[in-house]
């Protein structure tokens, strides 16, 4: 795909997602693999749930799950700690981790807009859809604020995008039409709930585009990003990884203090702030490094597995 996101198979570190060289004053420095957590680390004594982003976090840059990470996830579940994958990816792109979901089989996809059962082939269990009128409002607001913006619409069962939107190589048969046509329920192949809206700009920097979009339409929708390119992800107002994770935890009687979360990009910020313990990856966006309560190694160095091993060692 030419515009990778957390919803995509490739999101390498760039100038927008630099590998960190300094540890913020509030963060824990990365530890060497296999070492125990220091007494001053933010690790809780016994968490009940681990919530982890995928691209740039749990997955290595080649989109694989390492043997070390596979073992850590399995051991956590066996110790009674639930593991939730919380990602911007749509349900149909969850095959990279579907075999690593154990007991419950659930994953939170599309930045909180969908809860899916990976044991049932990605069946949608909960949808927090984007109202079509709101979607059209955001489209027009961004067309006015940032001429040249192209849009794609993630539906419950596939993607549709405009002719000028960078094509998804993983979805070669996707419908191509204007956003206005796609949001029209009477248009062919446009029925069903809208999961999220994607907006791409060919000239703006990612953070500049995010700031501009939030100014133009942030009062009507949740606007975030996970890509190293100027690609925004737009959901219904109030829908985020954090808000849907909070709903799932409430159903299980799990408090935020019992959750350890991992992330690397701006679409993870709310989740990291909500969780009682949060870790930024060593390759994380500067805002994520500043917001998380701890810091671990990069995704290519199995940073999530390192922390899980430390948690299990304490238990």
Look at residue 15 and tell me if it is in a domain: no
- 96 lies in some domain: yes
Kindly state whether residues 81 and 223 are assigned to the same domain: no
The domain boundary residue, chosen from 182, 212, 236: 236
245 and 307 assigned to the same domain: yes
Tell me which DSSP letter residue 307 carries. Answer: H
List, for residues 35-67, the tens digit of each pLDDT value.
333 334 567 768 999 999 999 999 999 999 999
In angstroms, what is the C-alpha Rg of the chain? 19
pTM: 0.85
Residue 175 CB neighbours (<10 A): 17
Say what the pLDDT of residue 253 is.
Answer: 97
**Final residue of a domain: which of 236, 255, 280?**
236
Q: How far apart are CA 126 and CA 128, in angstroms?
A: 7
304: left (phi over 0), alpha (psi -120 to 50) or beta: alpha
Calpha distance 272→294 (Å, rounded)? 10
Q: Could you tell me if 107 and 246 lie in one domain? A: yes
| Sequence-separated contacts (24+) of 34-39 with Cβ below 8 Å | 34/309, 35/310, 36/310, 36/313, 36/314, 37/307, 37/310, 37/311, 37/313, 37/314
Tell me, yes or no, whether 14 lies in a domain. no
Rounded distance between C-alpha atoms, residue 173 and residue 252, angstroms: 39
223 in the same domain as 187: yes
User: Is 21 inside a domain boundary?
Assistant: no
Tokens of 298: 């990069």
At residue 308, the 3 state secondary structure works out as helix
Q: Which residues pair with 158 in a beta bridge?
A: 155
Same domain, 304 and 215: no
- Domain membership flag for residue 110: yes
> Of the candidates 201, 236, 271, which is a domain's last residue?
236
Each of the 315 residues of the chain gets a pLDDT tens digit; together they read 333 444 443 333 333 333 332 333 333 333 333 333 333 456 776 899 999 999 999 999 999 999 999 999 999 999 999 999 999 999 887 877 867 776 667 899 999 999 999 887 778 899 999 999 999 999 999 999 999 999 999 998 889 999 999 987 777 778 899 999 999 988 877 788 999 999 999 999 999 999 999 999 999 999 999 999 999 999 999 999 999 999 999 999 999 999 999 999 999 999 999 999 999 999 999 999 999 999 999 999 999 999 999 999 988
99 and 181 together in one domain: no
- Check residue 53 and give its pLDDT: 97
Residues 63 and 210 placed together within one structural domain of the fold? no
Query: What is the number of domains present in the chain?
Result: 2
Q: Residue 274 maps to which CATH number?
A: 3.40.50.1000
CATH of the domain at 209: 3.30.1240.10
Whether residues 116 and 155 share a domain: the answer is no
Are residues 232 and 137 part of one domain?
Answer: yes
DSSP for 53-112, written as a single string? -IIIIIS-TTS---HHHHHHHHHHHHTT-EEEEE-SS-GGG-TTTGGG--SS-EEEEGGG
Q: Is 110 exposed, middle or buried (0-12, 13-18, 19+ CB in 10 A)?
A: buried
122/141 same-domain check: no
Residue 113 DSSP SS3: coil
Give me the domain span that covers residue 284.
49-128+240-314
Classify residue 301: in a domain, yes or no: yes
Helix then strand then coil, in percent of the chain rounded to 5, is: 35, 20, 45
Whether 138 and 229 map to the same domain: the answer is yes
Q: How far are the Cα atoms of 32, 65, 307, 310, 312 from residue 35, in angstroms, in the given order?
A: 6, 21, 10, 7, 12
For residues 81 and 108, state if they share a domain. yes
């Amino acid at each position: 795909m030419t515009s990778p996101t957390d919803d995509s198979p490739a999101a390498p570190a760039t100038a927008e997602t630099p590998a960190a060289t300094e540890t913020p004053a509030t963060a824990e420095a990365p530890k060497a693999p296999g070492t125990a957590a220091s007494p001053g680390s933010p690790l809780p004594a016994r968490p009940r749930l681990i919530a982890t982003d995928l691209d740039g976090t749990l997955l290595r840059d080649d989109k694989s799950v390492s043997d070390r990470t596979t073992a850590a996830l399995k051991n956590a579940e066996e110790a009674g700690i639930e593991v939730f994958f919380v990602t911007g990816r749509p349900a149909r792109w969850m095959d990279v981790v579907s075999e690593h979901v154990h007991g419950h089989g659930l994953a939170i996809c599309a930045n909180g807009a969908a809860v899916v059962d990976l044991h049932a082939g990605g069946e949608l269990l909960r949808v927090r859809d984007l109202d079509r009128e709101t979607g059209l409002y955001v489209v027009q607001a961004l067309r006015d604020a940032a001429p040249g913006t192209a849009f794609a619409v993630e539906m419950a069962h596939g993607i549709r995008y405009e002719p000028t939107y960078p094509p998804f190589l993983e979805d070669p048969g996707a419908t191509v039409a204007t956003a206005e046509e796609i949001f029209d329920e009477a248009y062919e192949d446009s029925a069903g709930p809208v999961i999220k809206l994607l907006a791409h700009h060919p000239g703006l920097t990612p953070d500049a585009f995010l700031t501009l979009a939030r100014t133009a339409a942030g009062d009507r929708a949740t606007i975030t990003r996970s890509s190293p390119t100027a690609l925004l992800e737009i959901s219904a107002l109030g829908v985020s990884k954090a808000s849907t994770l909070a709903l799932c935890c409430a159903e299980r009687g799990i408090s935020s203090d019992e959750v350890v979360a991992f992330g690397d990009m701006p679409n993870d910020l709310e989740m990291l702030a909500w969780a009682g313990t949060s870790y930024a990856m060593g390759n994380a966006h500067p805002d994520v490094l500043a917001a998380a309560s701890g810091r671990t190694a990069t995704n290519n160095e199995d940073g999530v597995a390192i922390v899980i091993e430390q948690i299990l060692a304490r238990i």
